[in-house]
Every structure is written in C-alpha cells, then in structure tokens.
Structure 1
Amino acid sequence: MNRFAGVVCFLMSWTLPLSDEAATLETPMVSISGEAQGTTYHIKYFDGQNRNFKVQIDSILTEFDKSLSNYRKDSEIAEFNKSSSLTFRLPYFYPVLKKSEEIFNATDGAFDPTIMPLVEAYGFGPKKKIDPENANVDSLLQLIGFQNIQFNKTSVSKKKPHIRLDFNGIAQGYSVDIIGHFLETKNINRFMVEIGGEVVCKGKKNDGQYWVAGIENPLVPGTLHSSIVLADRAMTTAGNYRNHFKKNGQVFNHIINPKTGSMEQSSVLSVTVIAKDAITADGYDTAFFVMGLDGIKRFLTKRKDIDVYVLYTNDEGKMEAFVTEGIKNFIKETAN
C-alpha cells in the first residue's frame, strides 16, 4: 500500500528547551527493520528487557494486508470490491472506514476512498491501464462517491454495485498506529515507528531529546530539506513528484482529485501533516494536496489540532514553505 515516501527518521538531535527530566540513560534501544506493504519499515524503541518483537510485528503487518491491501486477491477489501457487501473478519476495516467518513465529510469530498476506478484508469493500483490519457473520466465519476458506502461496526455494503474502495491514501498511516499500539501493550512508551515514510513517535530518546524526522526535498529526491521534532505526534507526507509516469509526453501523477476526476496541476510539491495519530495525518495529507495551498489555509483556520508543512513553488518558480504556528519552533530547514 505504499504511495509516497517523503519522510526519513533519524536518531539525531538539535537543541530545544525541554521542561521534562531526561529519560533513563541506560535503557537498551532495540532497532527493527523489514519489508511490508510494498515498502520498508524501521522501528526503534527503548525496552528495559531488550525484547525483539520483529516476528510479532511482521505477523501483525501480514494480517493487516489480509484486510486492506488491494494487491492481495484474498484480502477483505479485494473481496468487497468484487461483491456487494462484506462482513468483517479482521479488526482493521471498520476503523479505516470510520476515519475515511470523517475526513470525507470534513474536506467536502477532497478525500474519497471510492476513487479506485480513477486510480486504475490512470494506470496506478494493482491493474495497469495502457492508455490512461483516453480514460472516460465523466463516466468514471459516476462510480465515485463515499456517500454510496454504508457500514457499521461489523459489515459494509454498497448503494451502487460498481463502487470500489482504495485505502491507499490512509491505510498505511493506520498500520503505523497499529504497531505503535502493539508496543504500548508491551509497556513500551518510548518509540519511533516508520512504515513507508509514515511516522509516529512517542516519548524521548535516552539523551532526553525527542525524536527527529526528516522531510525530503521534492526538487532533489533523496536529499533532506528539513527536519522536525516530533513530540508524541504522528507525521505523514503526500507529494506528486515520485509516483508518476510519462506517456506520449504527458505526465500522470498518482494524486487524483476525486471531485473532478483529474490530476490537476498545482503549485504544491509536498504536504506534510502532523497530527495526534498517523491515520488522521495520512488521510488529511491526501486531501490537502487536492485542496491546494489556499484551501489548506482556509481549512486550518478551524482545525488547530492539525499542523502542516507545505512545500510549493511561487510565481517565479522558486520553492517556498508554508508552516503552521504550532510547529514553527520545531522545524529546521537544511536546504534552500
């Protein structure tokens, strides 16, 4: 379910005024890494018992894919997309539906997980289309609309037969939260969990400093643009410069406006969202990219629980940044 990785986490520090006492200096740090969801994961946590939970974490992520991966023919979401209804077997489908409904309503449909027909038409997702520029967008828009999904805590069904779901813009964030919750059940309360660029951090490192994450430079992929301190929060990034392809001179980007059916040109290069959990940040970063810079600013006048760091090009074609007040003191730019 990898869509865009614009975040890199580091065990690094830069000085901030911290009021809490430093954490215990001798607690062992455990580092785990692996592959999942078509991408990689990196997990670091402090555990006095020095336990390694890689086997359990890999098992959780495999079960997660069995519920929400469109790349598995046997997943719950694949089964739902081929049928008219589904009774949940695993505990992951309902929370993502519930959060999707919240963000769909809050953003007036800028985030809509019924976008699968458009995703496929433009050549993304598990099925590749040969001629995306000839996609019949007007016809496909009739198949888009989260209002055509009805669900409760045990099942989900369709109001229209050809509606299909794609949680690629939110599920990976939720998987980060799931792993964070697993660590908390093991009495681990200082950790960094990163899957495919989606991050959640809790507590401090042994030096008493909070975790620091890096934001990629969208104009020079693979290089660091900024670093940000994450104090018990989650961070995700959406951008238009990695997951794309060219055909007949036309560029097709993976972030699609579900209201118009198009991949509209935008001055926004990447949107990093910081929220209380990664499922919230992940869903909103997709919506914000569709909404554009002015739409983001208007939205955030009423939502002080969400912070953003937006990289965009100005009228002269130079990259600039917009950052909300809540994180200004926690951002350090490392590139011009």
Structure 2
Amino acid sequence: MKEVALMIGLFPVLVSFLGKPVQPLRLVETPMVSLEGEAQGTTYHIKYPDDQQRNFKRAIDSILVAIDECLSTYRPDSEISRFNRAESHRFERPYFYPVLKKSAEVYEITQGAFDPTVKPLAEAYEQAKKSREPWLPNVDSLLDYVGFQYIRFDAVSVRKLKKNVRLDFNALAQGYTVDVLAEFLETNGIDRYMVEVGGELRCRGQRSEGQWWKVGVESPVRPGGLQTTIRLANRAMATSGNYRNYYRQNGETFGHIINPKTGFSRPDALLSATVFAKDAMTADAFATAFLVMGLDETRRFLARHRELDAYLIYKDEKGALNTVITDGMKGFVD
C-alpha cells in the first residue's frame, strides 16, 4: 500500500556526534490555514499548512461560482441547463468536458448503473415525495428519455442523439469540485491539504509530522453519529447512502438514488457505500453506482477492480449492521 511509505522517517532518532548524544530536533509546526463557506447547496471546508499563511478564499469562491455557472442544474443560465433545453452545446468553460468523460467511463464499466441522464426520473421521484401521488405508472414513459448512449461529445462540444434527453451531474459534481480545488492548491505550491465539499473529500500528504488526516464515516442508523473514523493521505473519499433521503408510499420504500435501468430504487441490504480512489470525482461516481448495484454486485465488482477501495455498511438477514472493508483500507480504519 502506498500509504505505508509515508510513515518512514517520521520518528526522531538520537544521533551521536564525537561520542556525545545529540537530542532530537523539535520540529516547528507549520501554521494551519482553515477556510470554509457555502457552495452547491452545501458547505465546504479546506485546511492546509502554509508558512506564508496565504488565504485563498476569494479565489476558491470564484472557482466555485464558475463551476456552478457551468454545471448547476438549479441555475437556468448554467451551461448544463442551456444544453438540456437545446440539442447541442459548445463548451464555454473547462468544467463540462471532464465530467462528461468520467461519466462515460463509469457508465461503461458499471454497465449503466451510473447514468447522468437519469434526471427525468429524479425529478419524478422528488415530485412524488412532495405530493405523495403515485408515480410508478409514469416510469416506463420516463425511461424513454434515459440513456447515456444518446449523448455524444468530444473535447469541444456535446450533442443529443435523442430529443428531450437531459443531463444531471449531481452524482459526481461535488467530487469533481473537490478535485478542481485540490489542483488549484497544488498549483500554488500547497503540497499538504484536506479539501471537503458536501462530505466528499481529498487529502494529500499528512496533516502534520506523524499525523494522518482523520475523517469520519456517518452511521446509517444514528443520524449525526459516526460509524468509524479513517486515516487518509494521498487519496479521495466519497460516501453515498439511501438511509436518509427516502419516502414510503403504498407500503413501498423508495430511495433518492434512482436505478437508471428500472426507473426507481428499492431497498437493498447495502445502506452506505464509502469509496476511496485517487480522485474525488471517481470516488463520488462509484459511490452512487454501488448504491444502484446493491451489496452482492458491488462486492463482486470490487473483487475485479482492485484500483478502488470501499467501506460498505449493510444489514444482514437478522437486521444487524455489518461492514465490508476492502484489503487496501483495512490498516487505516479505526
């Protein structure tokens, strides 16, 4: 595991010079900069040690606004909203193409479990949740407008092969935002940081000498409580769960993470999927896909794709909470 190498050389050693013991040097801790704010309907938190104590909040807020102007479905003037109303779109900012490219990769490798054209179904779910009116009879007609195979794109533009197909990047936009902010810090010489947006995060290096970045995984049965904590360095992490945003109708339970193949979400043993990857956008997309795939298919998928790690929380047949931890994370879960 790459992380193990980070522990080398962290412990002070007594050195003898001309026969006299030399005391270990006391390292001066680099001051930590902490930034926070609101963005994308949630909050963000950023921490990084910096001798110069540089405050990048103004630049970061500017980046967040630019990403919203490109990818927010809540803004009618955003690039994605304008594309959803049109048949094609030429990219104006550098944010549209990367999420399309990642969407295509995850769509293919998960055989359609991840699909950003699920927007019509997500809207129907939200409307049914508010109105309590039956929506399953509409699923078949809505599925006619779901399918990433109806999207064509290159590095310059995107177009539809079928009218009324629409995109929604909510399943990976926050993870992508984390990556953009992390890369901004790196271009400014920050080589240790923790960037978090809406619970998706990415860490580089250690928090301080001998100390990892420590992050929590929420318990699906104790709102606001932690299931466990995890030590991270040089990895990204994202969590998806259906245990909070759901509703019941006519004796059935529906979750907000919609299966793009069936048009709705039914309960599965898998309650929460936390995914670890090199970048937050990848972790974010697969965390959503795993909730669609369910526990058994996710476990088989992870056995084939060792480039990903995961911490899965599920209920067994007796209703007790259990976890699955992939080999790559077993040494870092507390």
> TM-score normalised to the size of structure 1?
0.90
Q: Of the two, which has the highest radius of gyration?
A: 2
CA distance in 2, matches of 1:106, 1:323: 21
Q: Indicate yes or no: 2:8 matched with 1:19.
A: yes
- Give 1:265 shift: 1.6
Match runs of 1:81-92 below 5 Å: 81-92=84-95
- Pairing partner for 1:256 from 255, 258, 268: 258
Map of 1:237-276 to 2, 5 A cutoff?
237-246=239-248, 250-276=252-278
- Contact 1:64 1:175 (8 Å CA) reproduced: yes
Compute the RMSD of aligned alpha carbons. 2.0
Gaps of 5+ in 2: 12-25
Aligned residues between the structures: 316
Where does residue 329 of structure 2 map in the other structure? Answer: 327
CA contact (8 A) 2:273 2:313 kept: yes
Checking the alignment, whether the CA contact within 8 Å between 1:31 and 1:45 is kept in structure 2 is yes
The DSSP-based 3-state class of the residue aligned with 1:317 is coil
Shift of 1:123: 1.1
C-alpha distance in structure 2 between counterparts of 1:181 and 1:132, whole Å: 45
| 2:205 corresponding residue in structure 1 | 203
1:251 positional shift: 3.8
For residue 304 of structure 2, give the secondary structure of its aligned residue in structure 1. Answer: coil
Cα offset, 1:253, TM superposition: 1.7
Compare 66-75 and 242-251 and name the one that shifted more: 242-251
Residues in 2 aligned to 1:144 and 1:24: alpha-carbon distance in whole angstroms: 57
For 1:271 and 1:130, locate their aligned partners in 2 and report how far apart those are by CA, in whole Å.
Answer: 28
**Cα distance 1:27–1:244, how it changes in 2: closer, same or farther (>3 A)?**
same
Matches within 5 A, 1:179-328: 179-246=181-248, 250-328=252-330
Q: Which amino acid aligns with 1:279?
A: M
Letter in 1 for 2:296: D
Q: Tell me which of 48, 53, 57 is aligned to 1:45.
A: 48
Q: Which residue number in structure 2 is paired with residue 34 of structure 1?
A: 37
Question: Aligned equivalents of 2:102 and 2:174: distance in 1?
Answer: 13
CA distance in 2, matches of 1:305, 1:70: 31
- 2:132, 2:249 within 8 Å by CA — same for their partners in 1? no
Q: 1:124 to 1:204 in 2, by over 3 A?
A: farther
- Deviation string 1:79-136 (CA, Å, 9 cap, x unpaired) is 01100000000100000000000000000000000000100111169x9776353551
What SS class does the counterpart of residue 212 from structure 1 fall into? strand
**Structure 1 CA distance, aligned partners of 2:44 and 2:61?**
10
Contact 2:179 2:281 in 1 (8 A): yes
* 1:162 counterpart letter in structure 2: N
Q: 1:331 to 1:84 in 2, by over 3 A?
A: same
Instruction: Report the residue type matching 2:221 in the other structure.
Output: L
Q: Which region of structure 1 is more displaced relative to structure 2, 133-142 or 256-265?
A: 133-142
The answer to whether residue 99 in structure 2 is matched with residue 93 in structure 1 is: no
State the distance in 2 between where 1:277 and 1:124 align. Answer: 33
Looking at both structures, which has the greater relative contact order when contacts are Cα pairs under 8 Å and sequence separation is at least 6?
1
- Would the aligned equivalents of 2:242 and 2:271 in 1 still touch at CA under 8 Å? yes
Structure 1 counterpart of 2:207, which letter? K
Cα distance in 2 between the residues matched to 1:210 and 1:167: 31
**1:37-79 deviation digits (Å, cap 9, x = unpaired):** 0000111001111001111111100100111111111111100
Give yes or no for the alignment of 1:163 onto 2:165: yes
Secondary structure, counterpart of 1:122 in structure 2: helix
Distance 1:129 1:111 in 2: 27
Q: Measure the CA separation in 2 of the matches of 1:212 and 1:37.
A: 24
Q: How does 1:51-90 map to 2 (within 5 A)?
A: 51-90=54-93
Deviation at 1:301, TM superposition (A): 2.0
| Distance in 2 (alpha carbons) for counterparts of 1:135 and 1:227 | 43
When normalised by structure 2's length, the TM-score is: 0.90
Residue-by-residue CA offset, 1:143-177 (whole Å, 9 max, x unaligned): 11101000000100000011000101011100000
Partner of 2:156 in structure 1?
154
- 1:137 match: 139
Corresponding residue number in structure 2 for 1:6: none
Cα 1:190–1:155, aligned 2, differ >3 Å: closer, same or farther? same
Structure 2 CA distance for aligned equivalents of residues 83 and 129 of structure 1:
29
